[in-house]
Amino acid sequence: GQLNSLAKAAGLLYFGTAVDNPSLTNTAYTAVAFNLSEFGQITPANGQKWDSIEPSNGVYSYTQGDAVTSKAQSAGQILRCHNLVWYNQLPSWVSSGSWTTTTLESVLTSHITNEVLHYKGQCYAWDVVNEALSDTGTYRADVFYNILGTGYIPFAFKAAAAADPAAKLYYNDYNIEYAGAKLTAAVSIVKNIQSSGGRIDGVGLQGHFIVGSTPSKASLVAALQTFTALGVEVAYTELDVRHSSVPASAAAQQQQAADYVTVVSACLAVAKCVGVTVWDFDDQYSWVPSTFSGSGEADLWSSNLVKKPAYTSIASFL
């Protein structure tokens, strides 16, 4: 069987992948990406980010996002939409603007409303706010926090809820997959949205892991349950497991396979963990080598589109 078919039979809603625009011209790649048996869910890797959608104030461009979402919809795949508010890939007109509370709230409302309405009815979920926290659990001192304080997060969730009542609204971050100050701070974000009268439906745990240093299943399950105890669902939204040095040995590839299975098994162990999304499936299009110097081979297929041991192990586990 193939990953999504197996994952659904095991009780998940989907097994998904990110897809970026440059890969759409590779027909061998798209034959896998838009195969519903393999992937039941697609996340546009870049095309729905602020710099792509609203490069200047009030000027909206949906070409890049739609190129991915239209292919997913033709294939019958569900969409995780990513993302509305993030300090990164944020155009300088936002990050370096001279804002008051009122003008920045207005910019946020316009951006969120326009984008969510464009995709209304198409998104299973929206990552409303992405990576608001530093690794020590403090708020990132980005333009939103600096001008609006912690209230920008409930504010953004309320704007998204108003524009698409049916989409599930997620907070998404990394290094919240195991106990620590950052997980505790993410719990506070969920509670803060809830106590302000906002709606949050889910927490996305990105899951960018390192071969041999992936948290244990018990630690992953405990973190997932910390969130589900608040009444929200959870998902692994950007899973990859990178080798610290490449090319990886056969033994390292077996460890990578075991690490992937650990994460998938953690999700299956928690009823409200709805799915697992890999942050692309083919090493050729992985974000890892350009971000973590010297690291790589983090995905389920090698760069010549051959399934790696990690694929086989997940499939036999499922």
DSSP state of 296: B
As beta bridge partners, residue 18 has 43
Residue 80: CB minimum distance to ligand XIL, A:
11
Based on the shown chain and the rule CB under 6 A, indicate whether residue 46 belongs to the binding site for ligand XIL: yes
Does 262 participate in binding ligand XIL (rule CB under 6 A)? no
Establish if 238 lies at the interface with ligand XIL (CB under 6 A).
Answer: yes
Contacts 24+ apart (CB under 8 A), 30-37: 30/71, 32/281, 32/282, 32/301, 32/305, 33/71, 33/281, 34/71, 34/72, 34/74, 34/75, 34/77, 35/2, 35/75, 36/4, 36/75, 36/76, 36/77, 37/1, 37/2, 37/3, 37/4, 37/5
Q: Nearer to ligand XIL by C-beta: 180 or 289?
A: 289
- Does position 183 interact with ligand XIL (CB under 6 A)? The reply is no
Residue pair 283/296 in contact by the 8 Å Cβ criterion: yes
Q: Is 142 in the site for ligand XIL (CB under 6 A)?
A: no
Closest separation in Å from C-beta 163 to ligand XIL = 21
**Contact between 297 and ligand XIL per CB under 6 A:** no
In angstroms, what is the minimal distance from the CB of 316 to ligand XIL?
28
Residue 54 binds ligand XIL (CB under 6 A): no
Percentage helix, strand, coil, to 5, in the chain? 45, 20, 35
Residue 255 sits at the vertex; the CA angle it makes with 289 and 310, to the nearest 5 degrees, is: 75
| 52 is a site residue for ligand XIL (CB under 6 A) | no
Q: Output the smallest distance, CB 271 to ligand XIL, in A.
A: 25
Residue among 15, 20, 152, 260 that touches ligand XIL (CB under 6 A)? 20
User: Is 238 one of the catalytic residues?
Assistant: yes
Instruction: Looking at residues 66 to 85 of the shown chain, list those that interact with ligand XIL (rule: CB under 6 A).
Output: none
Determine if 130 is a binding residue for ligand XIL (CB under 6 A): yes
Q: Count of residues binding ligand XIL (CB under 6 A)?
A: 7
- CA–CA distance, 178 with 183 (Å, rounded to integer): 7
214 binds ligand XIL (CB under 6 A): no
* Closest to ligand XIL by CB, 17 or 256: 17
**Shortest spacing between CB 287 and ligand XIL, in angstroms:** 3
- Residue with token string 């625009």: 21
- Residue of the chain from 14, 287, 301, 311 that contacts ligand XIL (CB under 6 A): 287
- Which helix (H) or strand (E) segment is 8 a member of? helix 3-9
- Among 12, 45, 143, 267, the residue binding ligand XIL under the rule CB under 6 A is 45
Measured from the CB of residue 81, what is the shortest distance to ligand XIL in angstroms?
Answer: 12
CB 60 within 8 A of CB 118: yes
Q: Is 131 a catalytic residue?
A: yes
Catalytic residue among 131, 177, 233, 297: 131
Which residues lie below 8 Å from residue 256, measured CB to CB, with a gap of 6+?
A: 211, 241, 243, 248, 297, 308, 309, 310
Please list the active-site residues. 131, 238
- List residues binding ligand XIL (CB under 6 A): 20, 45-46, 130, 206, 238, 287
